[in-house]
Structure 1
Amino acid sequence: MAPARFRDPARTAKGERRAAVSLGALRTLWFNTGTLCNLTCANCYIESSPRNDALVYLTAAEVAGYLDEAARDRLPVEEIGFTGGEPFMNPDMLAMLEDVLRRGHRALVLTNAMRPMMRHRERLAALNAAHPGLLTVRVSLDHYGPALHDLERGRGTFEITMQGMAWLAERGFRLNVAGRAAFGAEPEAALRAGYARLFAARGLPLDAADPVALMLFPEMDPGADVPEITEACWGILGKSPDSVMCASSRMVVKRRGAAAPAVLACTLLAYDPQFELGATLAEASRPVPLNHPHCARFCVLGGAACSR
């Protein structure tokens, strides 16, 4: 029987040397604030919900410890990202965000812009005003039409999210949107055109043609067939390991029942123990073998094929 793919961190199923990515410089440090969320989405890659606490809330003190380590070791961290779950459900979210901004880091918060965020609107607006240009809020808006967005996130969620986005825009927040490219066969150009119409109609200062202002994410299908990434793939694809997310970022999580947080290789693999690299940023600076289908599908191939 042939060996299974994505099992051996050093070798592929064909016996070829598996590609690994070294941490060139830690530019982006992510914190998963916990997997609890006010929504249960149909295709959430991390299975967030009002009941899923597999990743428990990080505390402001725990986040400060990692920020202190980065400052002590003079790591070139430029941006701090907060993801979840829904970050604004974490009771320490505003304290963590204030600490990050006070230290002069750029901050990126991923949110659905619904009630958990709006509960903090006065303090959030004050933080943004006190640290102009440092805070970006990326709102999850799965489609430019309410029907498909609500199909994913629940009836009525589109309009509530739009109200949250309007509030952010009116108060001068830097605003991005995360959409999904997985609905039917709608090409990217048509998706961006649809979002452009929505942004114009709602008076939102967003450029739908900008891939940062509007990020369109593919579906994370765990059953899709993807090839393993070998060391030879870099040359075949004409791609540098430095372009892969784990060459410049790490994510901190705290597992339910754990005494302390852990540092992971990336944001996409929160539950796979082989991508838990250590308890500190220093321990997590070691190379990451690309030993998961997501490494191939999202971070290396991007629609290409690893073949000559």
Structure 2
Amino acid sequence: MAESAQRPLASEKFRNPLVTAKGEARATVALAALRTLWVNTGTLCNITCRHCYIESSPRNDALAYLSAAELDPFLEEIAREALPVTEIGFTGGEPFLNRELPAMLAAVLGRGFRALVLTNAMKPMRNHAAALLALRAAHGEHLTLRVSLDHYDPAIHDAERQEGSFVQALEGLAWLAARGFRVHVAGRAGFGGEGEAAMRAGFARLFARHGIPIDAEDPVALMLFPEMDAAVDVPEITTACWGILKKSPDSLMCASARMVVKRRGAARPAVLACTLLPYDPQFELGATLAEAARPVPLNHPHCAKFCVLGGAACSR
């Protein structure tokens, strides 16, 4: 992170996992304890957003649908090794496009884990209404659905996603809330050019108007994520940054989480360092949770801007 009069070009940064462009020791993050396991259900989505970090769309199947049978060995490994995992998160793409999502949720919840699903709450989710209601009845608040609403203003949300998507997402969120599901919302901090306080106030008005029981001041119930753009010039994170920033590496996602994916054409799933870097091969850590327990060099702009400097985390 330290800068000097001879500042490196952005193109020279994030090349070497061990040292920065200035020759300083790059920061790494050790896995302190695996507490959250993320599952990417596949990159296919029912809509195409303008700035999707994972490039999900109705045509992108770079990450194939993961099956319940493929998830099971990881759940078995957690049990066998007594790993301290408490939560399994499901992301995509749109997870509800994967027809095996209800079976995966049943397996996870049946083993006593909390489950978190990231969804746009549109038609694919409503297609699983009966299965969702059954899971809600059986497992109560162990199941949380986090609905993506980029902004409380429909026009700003729709400009990112597609016309009419705000109304559909809000209807899905209200449907969940009315039926007693535990719901959270994910917004985008940079949208609308407002500060965080104004964003939270706008969402509070929206939730109150529609009877949605979410505390907009709660940073977990309403997560406002910083924008991610790998082309933006950001400082590299050195070992000295922890002291300069007064930040612990244990606070980063990769200190407590990993993600399972199934690449298109691959014989078996792989385990990645985090949810944000699904395509960069240097963040593919192995085929088992044990293999993926090694330290992660912060060798990507997202590591710096989103996690260290932005302070974001995808779980609770």
Q: TM-score, normalised by structure 1?
A: 0.96
| Separation (CA, whole Å) in 1 of partners of 2:191 and 2:272 | 30
Question: SS where residue 158 of structure 1 aligns?
Answer: helix
Compute the displacement of 1:221 (Å). 1.5
Q: Where do 1:98-109 residues align within 5 Å?
A: 98-109=106-117
| Separation (CA, whole Å) in 1 of partners of 2:245 and 2:156 | 35
Compute the displacement of 1:300 (Å). 1.1
Q: Which amino acid aligns with 1:206?
A: I
**1:153 equivalenced with 2:153 (yes/no):** no
| Separation (CA, whole Å) in 2 of partners of 1:44 and 1:234 | 29
Q: Which moved more, 1:215-224 or 1:80-89?
A: 215-224
Q: Which of residues 73, 76, 84 is equivalent to 2:81?
A: 73
Q: Which amino acid aligns with 1:41?
A: C
Partner of 1:249: 257
Partner of 2:294: 286
Question: SS where residue 215 of structure 1 aligns?
Answer: strand
Q: Which amino acid aligns with 2:40?
A: N
Aligned length: 303
Partner of 1:49: 57
State the Cα deviation string for residues 97-121 of structure 1 (Å, max 9, x = none): 0000000000000000011000010
| Separation (CA, whole Å) in 2 of partners of 1:52 and 1:73 | 35
Compute the displacement of 1:299 (Å). 1.2
| Separation (CA, whole Å) in 2 of partners of 1:248 and 1:154 | 34
Compute the displacement of 1:185 (Å). 2.1
Q: Which of residues 115, 132, 135 is equivalent to 2:123?
A: 115
Please provide the CA RMSD for this pair.
1.2
| Separation (CA, whole Å) in 1 of partners of 2:254 and 2:215 | 28
Q: Where do 1:1-308 residues align within 5 Å?
A: 4-302=12-310
| Separation (CA, whole Å) in 2 of partners of 1:128 and 1:67 | 21
5+ residue gaps in structure 1? Answer: 304-308
Question: SS where residue 191 of structure 2 aligns?
Answer: coil
| Separation (CA, whole Å) in 2 of partners of 1:124 and 1:278 | 32
| Separation (CA, whole Å) in 2 of partners of 1:104 and 1:228 | 39
Given that 2:226 and 2:310 are in contact with CA atoms closer than 8 Å, whether structure 1 keeps it comes out as no
| Separation (CA, whole Å) in 2 of partners of 1:144 and 1:237 | 32
Compute the displacement of 1:183 (Å). 1.8
Alignment CA distance shift 1:127-1:184 (3 Å): closer
Q: Which amino acid aligns with 1:141?
A: L
| Separation (CA, whole Å) in 1 of partners of 2:303 and 2:230 | 12
Q: TM-score, normalised by structure 2?
A: 0.94
Question: SS where residue 299 of structure 2 aligns?
Answer: coil
Question: SS where residue 107 of structure 2 aligns?
Answer: helix
| Separation (CA, whole Å) in 2 of partners of 1:11 and 1:204 | 48
| Separation (CA, whole Å) in 1 of partners of 2:105 and 2:14 | 37
5+ residue gaps in structure 2? Answer: 1-7, 312-316
| Separation (CA, whole Å) in 2 of partners of 1:150 and 1:87 | 20
Compute the displacement of 1:261 (Å). 0.5
Compute the displacement of 1:206 (Å). 0.7
Question: SS where residue 133 of structure 1 aligns?
Answer: helix
Compute the displacement of 1:123 (Å). 1.2
| Separation (CA, whole Å) in 2 of partners of 1:73 and 1:240 | 26
Q: Which amino acid aligns with 1:113?
A: A
State the Cα deviation string for residues 22-50 of structure 1 (Å, max 9, x = none): 00100000000000000001111100000
Compute the displacement of 1:184 (Å). 3.9
| Separation (CA, whole Å) in 1 of partners of 2:95 and 2:224 | 21
Q: Which amino acid aligns with 2:127?
A: R
| Separation (CA, whole Å) in 2 of partners of 1:153 and 1:301 | 26
4+ residue segments displaced more than 6 Å? none
Compute the displacement of 1:302 (Å). 2.4
| Separation (CA, whole Å) in 1 of partners of 2:43 and 2:81 | 29
Q: Percent identity?
A: 72
